[in-house]
Amino acid sequence: MSWKRNRKRFVYDQILNEIESGMFKLPNIQEVDLNRELAINERILREIFQDCSDIVFRHIDSQGGMKLLLIYIDGLSDSMTLDQAVLKPLTLDVLQDSPESIYKVEQMIEQQLVAIAQVQKEPKIINMVNGILRGRVAFLVEGSRKALLVEIGGSEKRNIEEPTAEAAVRGPRDGFTETLRINTSLVRRRIRHVNLKMESLTVGKYTQTDLVIAYIKGIVPNSVVEEVRKRIQRIQIDGVMESSYIEEFIEDFTWSPFPQVQNSERPDVVCSSLLEGKVAIFIDNTPFVLIVPMTFWSGLQAADDYYERSIYTTFIRIIRYSLFNIALLFPSFYVAITTFHPQLIPTNLLISVAAAREGVPFPTVIETILMEFMFEGLREAGIRLPKPIGSAVSIVGALVIGEAAVQAGIVSAPVVIVVASTGIASFAIPRYNLGTAYRFLRFPILILAGIIGLYGIVFGVFSILIHLLKLRSFGVPYLSPVAPLIPKDVKDVFIRVPRWIMVSRPELITGANKKRAQEGQQPSPKRGR
């Protein structure tokens, strides 16, 4: 065994020489274990954390002469818990510098912290460094070749609040935060089953961002889980700041205006998606959770569609689908009718439109594009400005500019009405990213309508439909269950039937377990007696 000790001593001497010569590099210690001498470990670690003012090296000496070293990041650990639960008992106990005392110290630390934190023994220097960077406290004891990594939470966290991007009239009020484990716990609290699996991964060379893949085993197809895992593991990037970084790497077709990965900050939406056979991807430091696969129809469904009675939800969905067609086609239809097909307008209405357009210097398509551009600019300005003045500026700006433009004869009043109605209709789309796709597509269809009239609108709509028919999200057709048509799944697309009718999960999304409710549960006065 002496040659092994000599070999290890040679490795440490080589590392110390590299430190002295300024040639030390972190990859050189990938497989190096901790040394029994506390001074050598401290010197290596101080070199690794050089110029890191937030790294705390804290020496502890017991009354018996035992030496300990604590290393942690200031602000990521609860210093009060650390002092009361560990350091105070250690400093008061008389511990001699002996192998028995080393074991006793390790046992004491584990016993003191087992009720409040996770304790992990780590012999590798590089693993201990990674643990410290993740907010853990490292305990090094003189004479021991293992570090104790203790997770004592202490960083600032945002409280659980109601989601702002997905407001609902009825339903749960809690939303995800920027803390990964809080988010997974919100889902675990709702789905209390051992088949809810959560796999941990790390993405980002420098950020080392934690990521969790959540799914329900038996409901989700294994091929989808494997594909999600494979796409995430092949990501090579310096850092991940938000879930959109991951989304752009895993979506099927980057150049499509339509989103193929759903995002949500509502735990109830994520849980219902998991129960349908989808996969959720949690990313640390963001409240938005990714859900795959995504279909076109899921982007048009709101959370409270499933908290109100089916007859109300069906009525609201009909209105919503009408509004999203208005948001896409209304300006183009107005331009095509007034420019190329005035014979389709009733005579009295045509006279009113012609009178309103008298004196306007621009063609209809130009003034419509100008007003659309200005409306989008006001909407963007309202988002970027501080909240107290953002909404006021966007609303007042729209009123003032629209009225002034009409009074000046730059645009006609019907165009202002059309653009305002289109903007209001676009707000009815529940998913912001899908609404953005419609805002983007409105302009090319508007230009086509200004060039060749209704034929341009038909050409644009058919081009969009062909693209949607070709689009896939993790192998699932984007327009399913309408194309391809699956009659039993259409009952939750254009309408929302009662829950006792929806006894099966979506055919193309779910794995082997396709039943979610027992049949024959229709309410009846006779059964209630």
Measured CA to CA, the distance from residue 182 to residue 458 in angstroms comes to 48
First-last CA distance in the chain: 82
Does the predicted TM-score (pTM) go above 0.75? Answer: yes
pLDDT score, position 221: 92
pLDDT score, position 98: 54
Unique residue bearing structure tokens 């809810």: 196
Q: What is the dihedral of CA 122, 123, 124, 126, to 10 degrees?
A: 40
Task: Write phi, then psi, for 414 (nearest 5 degrees).
Answer: -60, -35
Residue 186 identity: L
pLDDT score, position 388: 65
| Structure token pair of residue 83 | 């002092």
pLDDT tens string, the chain, 529 residues long: the values are 454 555 566 566 677 777 666 666 666 677 788 888 888 888 888 888 888 888 989 888 766 667 888 898 888 877 777 777 666 666 655 455 555 556 666 666 666 555 555 778 888 888 899 888 888 888 888 888 888 888 776 666 788 888 888 888 888 989 999 999 899 999 999 999 999 999 999 999 899 999 999 999 999 999 999 999 999 999 999 999 999 999 999 999 999 999 999 999 999 999 999 999 999 999 999 999 999 999 999 999 988 889 989 999 999 999 999 998 999 999 999 999 999 988 888 888 888 888 888 878 888 899 899 888 888 887 887 777 776 666 666 666 666 777 777 777 788 888 888 988 898 888 888 888 898 898 899 999 999 999 999 999 999 999 999 999 999 999 999 999 998 899 888 988 998 999 888 888 888 888 888 888 888 888 877 655 4
pLDDT score, position 27: 65
pLDDT score, position 295: 93
pLDDT in tens, 206-263: 999 999 999 999 999 999 999 999 999 999 999 999 999 999 999 999 999 999 999 9
pLDDT score, position 3: 44
Question: Alpha helix locations (H) across 68-175?
Answer: 79-82, 88-92, 99-113, 125-133
CB 281 within 8 A of CB 290: yes
Structure letter (DSSP) for residue 217: B
